[in-house]
Structure 1
Amino acid sequence: MALETEKTVIGKIVKVSERGLVVSLSDDGIGIVPVSASLSVETMMERFSSGAQVRVLIGAQDESGSYTLSIEQKPMDADGAEFDQEFARLNHKLTNYSSPQTTPPDSSSEGPSIEERMEEWIAKAEQGLARLRKNRGKRLSEEFYNNNKE
C-alpha cells in the first residue's frame, strides 16, 4: 500500500548520514529527509539520532520506492514568534554585555601585603633569636648569678 503524499506520519530514524535522515515509515517503506539549506548535516547530527521518532511530511516517491520526506514544521503562533524575538534580543544583549571594569585594589594604598608583613615578622623573630643566643652564655654563667647574690 502506497502512502499518500502531503500526509504527515510518524517514522523512526534508521540512520543519520551525509545525505540526510533515513526514516522507516512503519511497514510501508523507507524515506529520506534530504539535507537542505534549513537542515544542514551538522544540524541533523546535533538534533537527531538513530532510533528516535520523528514527524515527517511525505513527498514524492522515487523509482526505487523510497519517499522524499521533510520534517514537519508546525506554524508558529504569534506568542511563539514574539517569545523567540524577545529571547533573541535578550540573548544578544547578554552575549555583548561587558561588565564595568573594576580595577583591582591598589596594594600600595592598603599598606604592606601579607608577604611583606610575614617577611618583616620573620626578620624580627630572627633578630630576637640572635639576641637570645648572644646573651645565653652570660645568663647561664656562674658569675652572673654570683654577682647578684653579693
Structure 2
Amino acid sequence: MISLLVISLFMVPAGYAEMFKWTDAEGNIVYSQSPPPGDIQAETIKPPPKVDTEAAQEQLEAQEKKADELREGRLKQAEEKGKAEADLALQQENCRRAQANLANYQRPRGLIAQPDGSRIRLTEEERQQKLAEMEGLIKEWCK
C-alpha cells in the first residue's frame, strides 16, 4: 500500500512537467521536458493558463444562441422579402390588367371578351359603369 502511494507521488501528469527551450550546437531550437545538457542556456516555458471550462461552455452556448437568433432573423427577412416581391408582382399584374381593361372599355361600342370565350357588346350605361370601376382599380393597384 505504501509503495503504491510512493509510486503515485512520482507519477506527475505530463501537463504539469516543466518545459525547456534552448538552441543546440547546430542552431536548432529544441523544446524538451528535461533541461539541456551541460552549460547551455535554457529558457523555462510557462504552461498555458488553465481554461475555465464552465465559462467557456457558457460563452459557446451564448454564441450559438446568438447565431441561431441571427439565422432565424435572416430567414424571416428573406421570407418577408419574398412575400413583398410576390405582392409587388401581383400588384403590377393587377395594374396591367386594369389598364388593359380600361383601354377596352374606352372604345365605344367595342366587343368585350367573356371568361367563357364569347364576346358581348355592352350598353353605354354598362360601359360607363365598367370605366368607373376600372379607374378605381387603377387607383388602387397602380400606385
TM-score, normalised to structure 1, is 0.32
TM-score, normalised to structure 2, is 0.34
User: Larger % of strand: which?
Assistant: 1
